[in-house]
Amino acid sequence: MHPTHNTLSENIRTQAVELLNRRLAAAIDLHGQLKQAHWNVRGPSFIGVHELFDRIAGEADSYSDLIAERAAGLGGVAEGTVQVAAERSFLIPYPLRIADENQHIFAVAATFAVFGQSAREAIGQSEAIDDADTADLFTEISHGVDHQLWLVDRMSRRNERSSGRSKGGGRNKSGVGGKVSR
Total structural domains within the chain: 1
Q: Report the alpha-carbon distance of residue 153 to residue 164 in Å, rounded.
A: 17
Quote the mean pLDDT of the chain. 88
Q: Report the alpha-carbon distance of residue 110 to residue 131 in Å, rounded.
A: 29
At how many degrees (to 10) do helices 132-163 and 101-128 cross? Answer: 160
* Distance (Å) of CA 52 to CA 35, 74, 102, 172: 11, 34, 13, 20
What is the pLDDT, as a whole number, of residue 113? 95
Residue 180 belongs to some domain of the structure: no
Q: Report the alpha-carbon distance of residue 58 to residue 95 in Å, rounded.
A: 20
Give backbone dihedrals phi and psi of 26, rounded to 5 degrees, phi first: -70, -35
pTM of the predicted protein model: 0.85
* Distance (Å) of CA 157 to CA 102, 147, 161, 174: 10, 15, 6, 19
Residue 1 belongs to some domain of the structure: no
Q: What's the burial of 139, exposed, middle or buried (CB within 10 Å: 0-12/13-18/19+)?
A: middle
Comparing CA positions, the residue from 6, 9, 13, 4 lying closest to residue 126 is 13
Would you give the distance in Å from CA 25 to the centre of its chain?
10
Residue 181 belongs to some domain of the structure: no
Residue 4 belongs to some domain of the structure: no
> Each residue of 100-124: pLDDT tens digit?
999 999 999 999 999 999 999 999 9
Going by the DSSP 8-state scheme, the letter that residue 160 receives in this structure is H
Residue 45 belongs to some domain of the structure: yes
Residue 182 belongs to some domain of the structure: no
> Each residue of 10-60: pLDDT tens digit?
999 999 999 999 999 999 999 999 999 999 999 898 999 999 999 999 999
- Residue numbers of the domain that contains 65: 10-163
Decide if 47 contacts 105 (C-beta within 8 A). Answer: no
Residue 3 belongs to some domain of the structure: no
- Residue 77's domain is classified under what CATH number? 1.20.1260.10
The share of the chain scoring above pLDDT 90, in percent, equals: 78
Residue 146 belongs to some domain of the structure: yes
CB atoms inside a 10 Å sphere around CB 169: 9
